Amino acid sequence: MLEDLSPGSQFIIPDWPGLPSNIRALVTTRAQGASLGAYDDGQGGPGLNLGDHVGDAPEAVALNRAILNQFVPKPVIFLSQIHSTIVRDAAEIRLTQASVEADASVTNAAHEMCAVLTADCLPVLFAAADGSVVAAAHAGWRGLAQGVLENTVAAMREKGAQEVIAWLGPAIGPSKFEVGEDVLLAFLTRALCYPNTREIEGDKLRACFSQFGINGAQKKMLADIYELARLILNSVGVTQVAGGLECTVSDAQRFYSYRLDRQTGRMASLIWRE
C-alpha cells in the first residue's frame, strides 16, 4: 500500500494540508511501467501509461494498470472522459462494470476509488473535511468553464459533505497554456452555462489570461488553469485549495503532455476513503 512507497517512487503523494487521516490520494507519473515509444518514461525506459485509448499496446496498458492496482484497495475503474460536466457515483460504476461517460466521480463508500486520467488537463481531488466523502474531477478548459467542478462539489454535498477541501494535480502551467480569445469568452459567459454558480467578477477571470501574441488574425493568450480553478472553487465555498504547483509541459521527463507530444500516455489521479 502507500506506506510501502519509497523516495523516488513513480507516484506522487499530494502535499495536502488538512487532509483527513482516513483519506488516501496519489498521482502517477510516467515512470516505472511497461510502455515503450511515445508512452515511455521520458528517458527511453518503460513508462507507466494508464490510458487504453491512446494507441499504446493493450498488453502494456494492462500491465501498467496491474502495477497501479498493487497500491490501492480495489482495481481502479476509469471513466470514459468526454470533457463534460457529468458526475457519477464511483460505487455504482463498479457495480455496473460498464464503460461510463463522465468526467468526475464521487463516493462515500470506504475503499472505493475516484479516479481520472490526464495529460495536461487539470485533475482535481476533493475530500470532505470530516473524511466522509471524496471525489475526483477531470477539468479540461471546456469542462472547467461549463461547471464540472461545481457539479462535483454539489454531488459531494448531496452525500452529506459540508466543508469541502480540494487539491489541484499536475496540469499545463500558466506559462505554457496558449489559448485563443474563445477560451476567455467561454469563461466570461460561464454564468449562462452554469447559472447556479455565484457570479465571478469578470476582471478576476480576465486576470487569469495574459496577452501572448497574434497568430494570423487571432489574438493568442496564456491561461492560468490553476487560478481559474481556484476562482471557481472559491465561488462555491471551497476555500481550502492546495496544489497547483506542477507543469506537465515543462516537466516532460516526469509527466505525459498531450500539448507537447500529441501522441502520449496518461497519468492517473486517485482518491479514496479507508
Each residue's pLDDT tens digit in the chain (274 positions)? Answer: 444 444 446 799 999 999 999 999 999 999 999 999 999 999 889 999 999 999 999 999 999 999 999 999 999 999 999 999 999 999 999 998 778 999 999 999 999 999 999 999 999 999 999 999 999 999 999 999 999 999 999 999 999 999 999 999 999 999 999 999 999 989 888 655 555 455 566 788 889 999 876 665 668 899 999 999 999 999 999 999 999 999 999 998 899 999 999 999 999 999 999 9
What pTM, to 2 d.p., does this model score? Answer: 0.92
Q: Where are the domains of the chain?
A: 2-172+236-273
Contacts of 171 (CB under 8 A, 6+ apart): 118, 120, 121, 122, 123, 225, 226, 244, 246, 247, 248
CATH number of 2-172+236-273: 3.60.140.10
The pLDDT assigned to 5 comes to 46
Q: Cα separations (Å) of 57 from 62, 63, 253?
A: 9, 10, 21
Residues 156-178 pLDDT 10s: 999 999 999 999 999 999 999 99
Contacts 24+ apart (CB under 8 A), 94-99: none
As a whole number of angstroms, the distance between CA 262 and CA 126 comes to 28
In DSSP terms, which residues pair with 187 in a beta bridge?
A: none
As a whole number of angstroms, the distance between CA 15 and CA 113 comes to 19
Counting Cβ atoms within 10 Å, is residue 8 exposed (0-12), middle (13-18) or buried (19+)? exposed
Q: Give the angle 70-75-79 at the CA atoms, nearest 5°.
A: 130
Half-sphere exposure of 25 (CA within 13 A, CB side): 27
The pLDDT assigned to 193 comes to 55
The pLDDT assigned to 97 comes to 74
The pLDDT assigned to 96 comes to 84
Residues 65-105 pLDDT 10s: 999 999 999 999 999 999 999 999 999 999 987 789 999 99
